[in-house]
Amino acid sequence: MSGKAKFISALAVLYGFLGAVTVLLYVVLWASLGAEDQQAVLRILSGRTGIVVVILFAALAAIGLAFEYLYRHYVSAPLRLGEKLGVIVGADSRVRLPQEGSAELRTLTTVINRLADERDALKHDVQLRIAEAREAIEDEKNRFAALMSELNQSVIVCNADGRILLYNNRARLMFLSESNSASPGGSPVGLGRSIFAVLERSLITHGLDRIRQRLAAGDAQPVTNFVTSSRHAQLIRAQMAPAMHKDASGGQSIGGYVLILEDITRRFDLESQRDAVLQSLTEGSRSSLASIRAAVENLLDYPDMESTQRDRFLSIVRDEARTMGERLDSTASDFADALKVRWPLEEMQGFDLIQAAQHRIEQRLGLSTKTEDIDEKMWVKVDSYSLLQVVGYLAARLKEEFQVREVRFRLTRDGRLAHLDLIWSGVVISSETLVGWEMDPLTSGGENSPLTLREVVERHGGEIWFQRDKASHRSFFRIPIPVATAPEPAIPPSPFNQGRPEYYDFDLFRKTEETRALDDRLLSQLAYTVFDTETTGLDPSAGDEIIQLGAARIVNGRLLRGEVFDCLVDPRRPVAAESTKIHGITNDMLSGRPTIERVLPDFHAFCEDTVLVAHNAAFDMRFLQMKEDKTGVAFHHPVLDTLLLSAVLHPNQESHRLEAIAERLGVNISGRHTALGDAMVTGEIFLKMLPLLHEQGIRTLRDAREAAERHFYAKLNY
C-alpha cells in the first residue's frame, strides 16, 4: 500500500473513532439530563444549526491538519527515510538521507549520515588495501588477456552446460564474419551464451563421449578433434580438451571444456583446387606425352629418314616438351599453396572407433552388434564424426530395407591401410543398390548430414566396396582408412606443477543448475537482456513504430558494455516533431536503415536464453507484440519491470520515474532518451535492486514476478 493510501486509511479510522466517541458521549449526556434540561438545550441549539455545523467541520479540519502534520513528520518521513536507509545499506549507495521530518528525526538523520560517511571512509581504506593486493592478480589477468588476443586460433571456454565462459576476439570475429556483419547484435559468441548457437550439439556430445572414453582408459590429458561445418557454411576444425574439477565426493569430473577452433574453409577450397590441378596435369600431359612418344619412336625406327621429316619430328618433341614445361611452371606458380594442403584427420585408436560405432548403432538403431578380429593396438587417421555417420547410415539401410538384425565389426591391417568391415549374415545386396546408397545424403538415427557416403569415404583416401563370403553365407562392406603411428605414452604431470596454471585465475565453472525450472532460479543466477525502444509516438495501435532498439546483457551480476545491441530502424512513416524533441532522432537519420522485419529477428537472437528487463516494460513489449504476425518473431521470454520493482521496494516514494529511481539508488544518468543509453541506466538500476530484493525475501524469478504483478501499477493499461 502506498503512503497516501495509508494516510487516508488512518485518517478515516481516526474520524470514525472520534465520531463514535462523540456519539457515545452525546447519548450518555443526553440520557443524564432531565426533560426540562433537554428542552433547554434544544432551545439553545434551535436556530444555531449552521454555526454548530461550521464549528464541527472546523474542528474536524483542525484535527485532520494536526493529524496530517503528525503523520508526515512522525510516520511518513520515517518510512521514506527507512527505505532510503535500506538503499544506503543494501545497495551500497553513497546517497545520504535528506533532512526532513521532526526535529528528533532530523537529529537521527544527521547521526546516520555521519555513520554512513565513516563507513564509506573505512570502506575506502579497505578497498585501497584490497587494490594493492589485487595488483599482481590484475597484472596476471592482463597478461592472460594479451595472450588470448594474440593467439592465431579462436579459443572458447564453456562450462558443462555449453555456456560460454571465456572467449578471445578471434572467436568473436570468426562467427561475426559468417553472420551478417552489419547485424547490430554482433557475434553470437558472448559470455553466458550457448555454444550450440554456432556448433551442433551432437558434435560437442560426440567429443565429450570420446574424452570420457580416453579418461576411462587412463589417458591423463585426453584431447579430441573433429571437423564440422558451421551454420553458415564455414568449415571449422575444432580441438576439444576437458576442464576438470573436483566434485563433492573428491573425485574428478568434467566441469567444462576448451575449444580451439580454426577456420579451414580456404584450406578445403585449396584442396579442391589441388585435385583440379592434378586432374589437369594428368589429362593435359597425356596427349603431349603421346605425341612425344610417337615422334621418338619414329625417329628410332627410321634412322635414315629425310632431314626435313626428322626436323619435323624433332620440332614436335621440342614444342610438346615446352608446352608441358609451361603447364608445370604455371601450376607451380598459381597453385603452390593448394599442392601443399591435406585434409585434416585425427589420430585415434581403432578399438575406440569400433566401440563408438557399436554404442551408436545399439543406442540409436536398436541393432545388436559384435566384434571379431580387431587389432586393438592399431591406430587410424579418421574424421571420426563423419565416419561414424557412415557406419550408422549403412546399418540403418540394412535394417530398414533388408531387415538385418545384427551386424559385426572387423578391423584388420593391410600395409598402410586398415580395413574396416561391417558384416551381416544372409541377405545379399546388388552393386546397383550400393551405388545408389553412395549418392544419398547420410541420414540415420534422427541425424542428417549434407555429406554423402562416397564423399566421406573419398575424404579418407579410398572407396567402399561390397564383398560376399559364400562359405560362411555372410556379406560385408569394406571401408579402407589410413593407418596412423601410435603416439608415445603421455609424460605424467610433474608433482610440482599441480593445479591451475599461474596465469589463469578465473572462477569459470560454477554450477548453473540448468535442470532447475527458470521460475525457481535465483535472480543472481539468471542472465538478462536490458532493453529500451524509441518510437515515432506513444500509440502502437494507431500505427506508431519503433525507430531505435538498444539493449545490453547482464551475465553473472555484470553489465556487459561490450556486448550490446544498438540499431536505428526505418519506420517507413514520418517521425512526429514532438517525438524528435524528446529523442533527437530525425527522418534523415532513419533513411536507408534496416526495417523492423530485419532487425527484430536479430534482436530475438540477441535475447536468447535471457530474462527481459525494461522500465515500464508494458510499453516496449506492446510494440514488440504488435509485430509478431508481420515478422514471425514472438517474444515469450520472462519479463521484469524496474518500474514495478521500484514500487515493490519503495512503496512510500512519490515517484517511480527512471530519473527518480536513479537518483534514489545513486546511479549516474548518461545518454538519456537514447535506446541504448536508457537500457544501460536501467541495467545499472536493476543491479542495484537485486540485493534490496533479496533483503525483502524476493530471491527467485517467480518471487519477483509475483510481487510485481500484485502491485497497483501492474493493473494499469498502457
Q: Within 10 A of 35 (CB to CB), how many other CB atoms are there?
A: 7
Query: What's 656's DSSP letter?
Result: -
The better pLDDT of the pair 693, 133 is held by 693
CA–CA gap between residue 84 and residue 90 (Å, rounded): 10
Pick from 416, 274, 415, 281: which is nearest to 342 by CA? Answer: 274
State the pLDDT confidence band at 531, using cuts at 50, 70 and 90. Answer: very high
The predicted pLDDT at position 1 comes to 58
Task: Say whether both 635 and 695 belong to one domain.
Answer: yes
The predicted pLDDT at position 268 comes to 57
The predicted pLDDT at position 528 comes to 94
Pick from 331, 349, 348: which is nearest to 340 by CA? Answer: 331
pLDDT, tens digit (0-9, with 9 covering 90-100), for 154-164: 889 898 888 88
Per-residue pLDDT, averaged over 270-285, amounts to 63
The answer to whether 260 and 154 have CB atoms below 8 angstroms apart is yes
Give CA separation, 208 vs 205, 242, 277, 391, 393, in Å.
Answer: 5, 8, 39, 20, 22
The predicted pLDDT at position 275 comes to 60
pLDDT, tens digit (0-9, with 9 covering 90-100), for 13-26: 877 887 788 778 77
Task: Say whether both 569 and 665 belong to one domain.
Answer: yes
Residue written as grid cell 628410332: 300
The better pLDDT of the pair 550, 71 is held by 550
Residue 221 lies in a domain: yes
| Active-site choice (359, 419, 636, 673) | 673
Per-residue pLDDT, averaged over 33-40, amounts to 74
Q: Please state which of the ranges 23-37, 57-71, 171-185, 674-688 shows the lowest mean pLDDT.
A: 171-185
Q: Residue 249 is inside which H or E element, if any?
A: none
The answer to whether 474 and 405 have CB atoms below 8 angstroms apart is no
CA–CA gap between residue 210 and residue 355 (Å, rounded): 10
Task: Say whether both 546 and 648 belong to one domain.
Answer: yes
Q: Within 10 A of 567 (CB to CB), how many other CB atoms are there?
A: 25
pLDDT, tens digit (0-9, with 9 covering 90-100), for 371-417: 998 887 888 888 888 888 889 999 999 998 889 999 999 999 988 88
Residue 35, pLDDT > 70, answer yes
CA–CA gap between residue 535 and residue 531 (Å, rounded): 13
Task: Say whether both 415 and 321 belong to one domain.
Answer: no
443: domain CATH number is 3.30.565.10
591-594: long-range pairs with CB below 8 Å, 24+: 593/567, 593/568, 593/569, 594/182, 594/567, 594/569, 594/570
119-128: long-range pairs with CB below 8 Å, 24+: 120/94
Residue 563, pLDDT > 60, answer yes
Query: What's 197's DSSP letter?
Result: G
CA–CA gap between residue 654 and residue 660 (Å, rounded): 9
Residue written as grid cell 571437423: 227
Cell of 628: 509478431
The predicted pLDDT at position 554 comes to 93
Residue 118 lies in a domain: no
Pick from 696, 682, 700, 560: which is nearest to 620 by CA? Answer: 682
Number of structural domains found in the chain: 5
Residue 116 lies in a domain: no
How many Cα neighbours within 13 Å face the side chain of 566?
13
Cell of 646: 521500484
The answer to whether 553 and 538 have CB atoms below 8 angstroms apart is no
Task: Say whether both 182 and 257 belong to one domain.
Answer: yes
Per-residue pLDDT, averaged over 345-369, amounts to 87
Residue written as grid cell 527507512: 82
Buried b (16+ CB within 10 A) or exposed e, 291-307: bbeebeeebeeeeeeee
Cα Rg of the chain, angstroms: 40
Residue 336, pLDDT > 50, answer no
Buried b (16+ CB within 10 A) or exposed e, 186-223: bbbbbbbbbbebbbbeebbebbbebbebbbeeeeeebb
The predicted pLDDT at position 545 comes to 92
Q: Within 10 A of 449 (CB to CB), how many other CB atoms are there?
A: 19
Residue 591, pLDDT > 60, answer yes
Residue 495 lies in a domain: no
The predicted pLDDT at position 567 comes to 92
260: domain CATH number is 3.30.450.20
Task: Say whether both 68 and 89 belong to one domain.
Answer: yes
- To the nearest whole number, what is the mean pLDDT of the chain? 79
Residue 495, pLDDT > 50, answer no
Query: What's 671's DSSP letter?
Result: S
The better pLDDT of the pair 275, 187 is held by 187
The predicted pLDDT at position 611 comes to 93
Pick from 192, 188, 133: which is nearest to 164 by CA? Answer: 192
Residue 510 lies in a domain: no
Choose the most confident range, by mean pLDDT, from 31-45, 496-510, 601-615.
Answer: 601-615
The better pLDDT of the pair 235, 516 is held by 235
Residue 342, pLDDT > 60, answer no
Identify residue 67 by its one-letter amino acid code.
F
The better pLDDT of the pair 2, 43 is held by 43
Cβ within 8 Å of residue 359, ≥6 positions away: 209
Task: Say whether both 244 and 284 belong to one domain.
Answer: no
pLDDT, tens digit (0-9, with 9 covering 90-100), for 416-431: 889 999 999 888 888 7
Buried b (16+ CB within 10 A) or exposed e, 384-395: bbbbbbbbbbbb
Residue 500, pLDDT > 50, answer no
Task: Say whether both 471 and 523 belong to one domain.
Answer: no
Query: What's 341's DSSP letter?
Result: -
622: domain CATH number is 3.30.420.10
Choose the most confident range, by mean pLDDT, from 67-81, 482-496, 511-525, 626-640.
Answer: 626-640
CA angle 707–708–713, rounded 5-degree value: 135
The predicted pLDDT at position 333 comes to 57
Residue 60, pLDDT > 60, answer yes
Per-residue pLDDT, averaged over 694-711, amounts to 87
CA–CA gap between residue 510 and residue 519 (Å, rounded): 20
Q: Could you say which of 264, 285, 300 is where a domain stops?
A: 264
Alpha carbon of residue 366 to chain centroid: 35
The predicted pLDDT at position 458 comes to 82
The predicted pLDDT at position 338 comes to 46
The predicted pLDDT at position 332 comes to 55
Task: Say whether both 542 and 572 belong to one domain.
Answer: yes
CA–CA gap between residue 705 and residue 627 (Å, rounded): 24
Per-residue pLDDT, averaged over 51-78, amounts to 75
Q: Could you tell me what percent of the chain has a pLDDT over 70? A: 81
The answer to whether 292 and 314 have CB atoms below 8 angstroms apart is no
The answer to whether 585 and 673 have CB atoms below 8 angstroms apart is no
Can you give the residue range of the structural domain that contains 305? Answer: 268-340
The answer to whether 317 and 295 have CB atoms below 8 angstroms apart is yes
Q: Could you say which of 435, 467, 484 is where a domain stops?
A: 484
CA–CA gap between residue 145 and residue 169 (Å, rounded): 10
Task: Say whether both 452 and 368 belong to one domain.
Answer: yes
Cβ within 8 Å of residue 456, ≥6 positions away: 383, 386, 387, 389, 390, 442
Q: Within 10 A of 383 (CB to CB), how many other CB atoms are there?
A: 23
Q: Could you say which of 311, 340, 369 is where a domain stops?
A: 340
Residue written as grid cell 502491485: 711
Task: Say whether both 196 and 292 belong to one domain.
Answer: no
The predicted pLDDT at position 91 comes to 60
Task: Say whether both 649 and 531 belong to one domain.
Answer: yes
The predicted pLDDT at position 682 comes to 94
CA–CA gap between residue 634 and residue 600 (Å, rounded): 10
The predicted pLDDT at position 465 comes to 84
Give me the residues paired with residue 382 across strands. Answer: 346
Residue 511 lies in a domain: no
The strand order across the sheet containing 252-263 reads 164-167, 154-159, 252-263, 235-246, 224-229
Residue 315 lies in a domain: yes
Residue 583 bears catalytic tag: no
The predicted pLDDT at position 3 comes to 61
Per-residue pLDDT, averaged over 479-490, amounts to 71
Per-residue pLDDT, averaged over 127-148, amounts to 75
The predicted pLDDT at position 348 comes to 82
CA angle 685–689–691, rounded 5-degree value: 140
Cell of 404: 538385418
Residue 640, pLDDT > 90, answer yes
Taking the model in full, what pTM does it have?
0.57
Per-residue pLDDT, averaged over 653-678, amounts to 84
The predicted pLDDT at position 183 comes to 57
